[in-house]
Amino acid sequence: MSPAGPVGPVVVGVDGSPDAARALDVAITLARSTDAELVAIHALGLLTVVDGEHVPAFEHRDDVERLLREEWCAGLVGAGVAYRVELVDGNPTEVLTHLADAAHPSFLVVGARGIGESADRELGSTSYHVTRHATCPIVIVPVARSDP
């Protein structure tokens, strides 16, 4: 059966964390299999980490943009999908849920736990909050198991 219309993009949150890297891999697979555009988003907060130091994001926007494009999303190059990479001001939950409302993605993909996020799921987890607030299908990529 052919689809009724254009497929919404696959949106993935990225932040340089291992979980986000695996979320990006899953998003690539989904985008490739559904012939959808992939949109990789990083939410720029008040602070960011550059060269291991916590610094004001406002003063290091260019550094984050470079990390986002050249390192965190390096796997997109040659992945065989159409993609966009966006740096957006805001809290990750708010940015992703707003985008989910506005862009009607076919999937929103997030890692289970991003950088600087709380282990308390209800208070500090982007993945938890997007499941409560976003209105599109959500894929949560679980934390990697270290045991075999």
Partner 1 sequence: MTVPIAVFASVELDQHATPSWHPERPGRLDASLSGVPAAGLMDAVSFREPRLASPAELALAHAASYVAGIERFCGSGGGDLDPDTYAAPGSWATARRAAGAVLDAVDALRAGDCDIAFAAGRPPGHHAVADQAMGFCLFNNVAVAAARLAGEGERVAIVDWDVHHGNGTQDIFYDVAGVLYVSLHESPLYPGTGLASETGGPNAPRSNLNLPFPAGTRGDVYRQAIDEVVAPVVEAFAPDWLFISAGFDGHRDDPLAGLELTSSDYADLAVRLQSLAPARRTVVALEGGYDFDALAASTGATLAALIGESYRPEAPSVGDVGRPTIAAAKQRWELR
Residues that bind partner 1 (CB under 8 A): 15, 44-49, 53-54, 56-59, 88-95, 114-120, 122-124, 126, 129
Distance CA 50, CA 103 (A): 30
For partner 1, give the closer residue by CB, 81 or 100. Answer: 100
Go through the chain and tell me how many residues it has.
Answer: 148
For partner 1, give the closer residue by CB, 62 or 147. Answer: 62
Residues 6+ apart with CB under 8 A from 7: 34, 35, 36, 106
For partner 1, give the closer residue by CB, 47 or 144. Answer: 47
Minimum separation from the CB atom of position 33 to partner 1 (A): 31
Q: Quick one: which H or E segment has residue 110?
A: strand 107-111
Residues 6+ apart with CB under 8 A from 36: 7, 8, 9, 10, 30, 81, 106
Minimum separation from the CB atom of position 122 to partner 1 (A): 6
Minimum separation from the CB atom of position 132 to partner 1 (A): 8
For partner 1, give the closer residue by CB, 25 or 94. Answer: 94
Minimum separation from the CB atom of position 94 to partner 1 (A): 6
Q: Quick one: which H or E segment has residue 141?
A: strand 138-141
